[in-house]
């Protein structure tokens, strides 16, 4: 079927069973305050790509993305889908204070 994985290894294995070395590296860096071996910008862009695709699929149209400002260009409806209302007691403002 074109799946390149070791025999007997199920699809998705590793996602919820401790993962690979990147998970250990992240946890070690949380404790030590060192930088992870993967640049945080890479993770941000990878996650953004998935969110952008999901929003475009839900709206059923092509969208233009401003990578500098992390917003859709000229599309208020799509920009409203970039976040959702926060619930007390959790808020980014409190977390960043």
How many CB atoms neighbour CB 72 within 10 A? 21
Q: Write down the pLDDT at residue 7.
A: 52
Residue with tokens 């149209």: 61
Q: Which residues in the chain come in under a pLDDT of 50?
A: 1-5, 9, 11-15
Tokens 């409806």 identify what position?
77
Residue identified by tokens 């970039």 is: 82
Q: Given this model, what pLDDT does residue 39 score?
A: 82
pLDDT at 21: 83
Give the tens place of pLDDT for each residue, 47-61: 999 999 999 999 999
């Amino acid at each position: 079927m074109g799946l390149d994985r070791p025999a007997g290894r199920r699809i998705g294995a590793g996602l919820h069973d401790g993962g690979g070395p990147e998970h250990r590296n992240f946890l070690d860096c949380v404790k030590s305050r060192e930088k992870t071996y993967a640049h945080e910008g890479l993770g941000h862009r990878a996650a953004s790509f998935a969110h952008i695709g999901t929003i475009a699929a839900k709206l059923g149209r092509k969208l233009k993305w401003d990578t500098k400002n992390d917003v859709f260009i000229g599309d208020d409806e799509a920009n409203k889908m970039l976040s959702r209302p926060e619930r007390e007691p959790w808020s980014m403002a409190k977390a960043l204070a």
